[in-house]
Amino acid sequence: MPYATDAIWPVTPARTALHVDDALLLHPLVSPLAAKGELWEGAPPVFIVTGWELLSDEDRTVASRMANAGVKVRFMEFEAMPHCFAMVVEGSAVARKCIREWAGWMKKVVEAPGSVAEGGTVVGFKKLEEKEVDVKGLDEGWEVTMERMKERVKKNEERKEALAKL
C-alpha cells in the first residue's frame, strides 16, 4: 500500500524498518540492543520470550546484557516458533504454555516481587520439554552483535527494499 510522503512518515527513500528511519536503527533510544549494559542497572524485572526468528539473536543478547547488569530476567526461547507465535498459533499447546508462563511470571512480579528470580529456558518443539540455560551466558558479545546489526543495516540500505520482521 503506498503512503503519501510527509514529515512524520517519510517513504522516499523507502525504509527497511517500519518504526524508525534506517539511520537511527542503531541508536540506544530506538534499539535496546544498542544501549550499553549499564543503562539497564536498576531496571524492573523483565520477561523476554522468543521463537526461532529474525530477532532471536538480539533477544538473547538483550536478555544477557540486562541480567549481567543486575536485572531479574526471565528468558524463554521456543524452538521452531515464528515471531509472535503465541498469537499466530493461538490455542495450540505451545501458545498455551507460553501464555501460562508469562501470566504466572507477571502475577509473581506483582504479588511477590521479592521472589522473582532470574532464569532461562529453551522449550522443545514437539514435547515442550524444558532445558535450563544461563541467561547471563546467552550473549555472544555486544561487539559481535553490533557488527552484525551494522552489516544488516548496510545490506538493507544497498537493497533499498523492505524486509519482513518475522
Instruction: Look at residue 83 and tell me if it is in a domain.
Output: yes
Instruction: Look at residue 126 and tell me if it is in a domain.
Output: yes
Nearest C-alpha neighbor of 120 from the set 107, 138, 103: 138
Total domains in the chain come to 1
Instruction: Look at residue 116 and tell me if it is in a domain.
Output: yes
Instruction: Look at residue 153 and tell me if it is in a domain.
Output: no
Structural domain harbouring 97: 41-143
**pLDDT in single tens digits along all 166 residues of the chain:** 454 566 666 666 666 777 777 778 888 888 888 888 888 999 999 999 999 998 888 899 899 999 999 999 999 999 999 999 999 999 999 999 999 999 999 999 999 999 999 999 999 999 999 999 999 999 877 778 778 778 877 877 776 555 544 4
- What lies within 8 Å, CB to CB, of 147 at 6+ separation is none
Instruction: Look at residue 22 and tell me if it is in a domain.
Output: no
Instruction: Look at residue 100 and tell me if it is in a domain.
Output: yes
